[in-house]
Amino acid sequence: CERRAVTVIDVPALDISRECPKCGTLGENTSNLFVTCPGCGHTEDQDINAAIILLRRGKTAARKAAPKTLESW
């Protein structure tokens, strides 16, 4: 990664498929393809939900690591 000037950020993956991207409530573990938030009722595909949460956590971690270079995010 250093040869191509790519920054790798470690993002915690705990509860990514259970956390609601709308309100942050943690739902129950489920084997269903879709997950529904018990807090706000938002329904999302588990894989899409996990991608949204990982992106959000990655952006937060990146801002903390280098706040001046990521202001345009």
pLDDT score of 67: 56
Query: Concatenated DSSP letters for 9-66?
Result: -----TTTTTB-TTT--B-----SSEEE-TTT--EEEHHHHHHHHHHHHHHHHHHHH-
Which distant-in-sequence residues (6+ apart) come within 8 Å of 57 by Cβ? 11, 12, 16
3-state secondary structure of 3: helix
pLDDT digits (tens, 9 = 90+) for 10-65: 888 888 888 999 999 998 877 888 889 999 999 999 899 999 999 999 998 888 87
Q: pLDDT-derived band of residue 9, with 50, 70 and 90 as boundaries? A: confident
